[in-house]
Structure 1
Amino acid sequence: MVTVKEPTAGTMAARTAVILFVFVIVFTGLLAGAYQWTLPAIQASATEEKMKLVNEVLPTASYDNDLLHDTLALAPTPELGLEEPSTVFRARMGGAPAALVLEAVAPDGYAGKIRLILAVQADGRVAGVRVTQHKETPGLGDYVEPKKDRNKERPWITQFNGLSLATLAEKEWKVKKDGGHFDSNAGATVTPRAVVKAVKKAVAYVDAHRDELFAAADKNAADRK
């Protein structure tokens, strides 16, 4: 009669380790394959979302270049309220500067930071502003976001359209409650006050750095050559 030798604890542990190792390798390979397969769709979706935001603040008829390939990387910029790197999209018409699309942050919203995207034309006028992220009180301070604003014909955020440092005096860049130009809803002035301040700072930043922002080398274009 042949006696079958039972595997030792060490042998069992080694087998288990090998099986787990093979499982991890196979699973990782499948994940990597799935990621590579879906990457084009993910990138296309991200590009589409970027252009949706850009198109909300800058009419497509105002430029003829590819904004996604004419960009400038900004380091963290305190003037814009940005603590992390950001991207500036540069619009051109016939090769001439048309507008800059950039991000900004209002750090002093009622419930925290309010993230913005805005377009400033080459002559310094605001083409459009949108709130991209906030935690303001629903039904009270969230009217700075167009889809939450009850005034659908003229949302609050559109008050910035066409304004510049040249057309609106510095003291006017405040809500009316503080003696300025901008309307605000009764009982909810903290949020618009923060947005107005952030937009003014962003417009001033563009005014001070316009030539530098437009003239900087397009690294993406250089990479494509």
Structure 2
Amino acid sequence: MAKTESTLVNMVLALLIITAIAGGTLGMVYKVTKEPIAVAKLAKQKKAIEQVVPGFDNNPTEEVYELESKEGYKLKVFPCKKGEELLGVAISSKTDKGFAGEIKIMVGLKPDGTIINYSVLEHQETPGLGSKMNDWFRMDKGNQSILDKNPSNTKMVVSKDGGDIDAITAATISSRAFLDAIMVAYNTYTEQNDSSDATSGATVKKGGQS
């Protein structure tokens, strides 16, 4: 009996030691990789802003403010200016309606809400199907492109559902989700502008990340 108890104690001690070592190792890895990951995320954000609203000469991340969508999403809005002129805003938006979960995008809107461009930041959609959203909705083919269109006079819904946009072939759910993320950004921004100045009442955070 004593031998059995001794073996059990040794096993428990061994497991505790292994767990402690594993936890310490993970903690060290996290500390080592935390800063490079943050730097890479900021670089990706900067590149996305430049892509969706080109030509600005200010630093949009220094003027970023936050809006909350009716869905409860916190959206970061990056004003892009040339001199004193507001060229447009880059808005980090998202939806949880993707085929495989959450989709995050950056979309550029002119002051009147017209779509300038977009960048897909994160998604887990099916490779070769839903992943085609990276390019599909800017291709000048049929009714695929959403660029230079304004949701006020273009129904940003897939044609299968009575809208004006052609869905990705064999990826209707991903297409619906992508367009939902676009509309989350558009509705949140334009509704805020309709009710008050876009910067009033907004939570301003320097150097924000999406």
TM-score, scaled relative to structure 1: 0.64
Native 8 Å contact 1:79 1:202 kept in 2: no
Q: Deviations over 1:112-147 (max 9, x none)?
A: 11111111111211111222111111122211123x
Distance in 2 between residues matched to 1:155 and 1:52, nearest whole Å:
26
- CA distance in structure 1 between the partners assigned to 2:145 and 2:65 by the alignment: 27
User: What letter matches 2:197 in structure 1?
Assistant: E
Alpha-carbon separation, structure 2, partners of 1:89 and 1:67: 5
Question: Per residue, is there more helix in 1 or in 2?
Answer: 1
Shift of the alpha carbon at 1:91?
1.4
Q: Please identify the structure whose Cα radius of gyration is greater.
A: 1
- Distance (Å, rounded) in 2 between the aligned partners of 1:185 and 1:159: 11
Q: 2:62 aligns with which of 66, 69, 85?
A: 69
Counterpart selection for 1:165 from 139, 144, 151? 151
User: For 1:195-210, what aligned pairs fall within 5 Å after superposition?
Assistant: 195-210=178-193
Identity across the alignment (%) = 23
Work out the CA distance in 2 between the residues paired with 1:199 and 1:152.
Answer: 13
8 Å CA contact 2:133, 2:175 repeated in 1: yes
The CA deviation at 1:80 is 5.9
CA distance in 1, matches of 2:148, 2:139: 17
155, 172, 178: which one aligns with 1:189: 172
Greater RCO structure (CA 8 Å; 6+ sep): 2
Q: Is the 8 A contact 1:110 1:136 kept in 2?
A: yes
Q: Which digits, 9 at most, give the CA deviation of each residue in 1:90-114, with x for residues without a partner?
A: 1123323331211111211111111
Per the TM alignment, residue 48 of structure 1 is displaced from its structure 2 partner at its CA by 2.8
Contact 1:71 1:218 in 2 (8 A): yes
Distance in structure 2 (CA, Å) of the matches to 1:54 and 1:73: 15
Structure 1 Cα separation of the partners of residues 191 and 124 of structure 2:
31
Structure 1 residue 142 and structure 2 residue 103: aligned?
Answer: no
Match of 1:10 in 2: none
The answer on whether the counterparts of 2:114 and 2:150 sit within 8 Å (CA) in structure 1 is yes
* Count of residues paired in the alignment: 175
Mapped to 2, the partners of 1:54 and 1:121 lie a distance apart of: 13
Cα deviation 1:33-81 (Å, max 9, x = unaligned): x97xx96x8776554322111112111x2x232112111144xx34366
Change in Cα spacing, 1:117 to 1:217, as seen in structure 2 (3 Å) is closer
Match of 1:20 in 2: none
* Distance change >3 Å, CA 217–CA 142, structure 1 → 2: closer
Contact 1:97-1:214 at 8 Å conserved across structures? no
Tell me whether 1:79 sits opposite 2:64 in the alignment.
no
Does structure 1 residue 177 correspond to structure 2 residue 160? yes
Opposite residue 163 of structure 2, the aligned amino acid is: G
The corresponding residue for 2:53 is 58
Gap runs ≥5 in structure 1: 1-30, 221-225
Structure 1 letter corresponding to 2:63: D
The structure 1 segments of at least 4 consecutive aligned residues displaced by more than 6 Å after TM superposition are none
The C-alpha deviation readout for 1:191-222, integer Å capped at 9, x for no partner, is: 101111221232121111135324569675xx
Unpaired segments of 5 or more residues in structure 2? 1-27
* Contact 1:120–1:206, Cα closer than 8 Å, also in 2: no
Map residues 67-146 of structure 1 onto 2, 5 A cutoff.
67-74=60-67, 77-79=68-70, 82=73, 85-146=74-135
Q: Which amino acid aligns with 1:164?
A: N
Alignment RMSD: 3.4
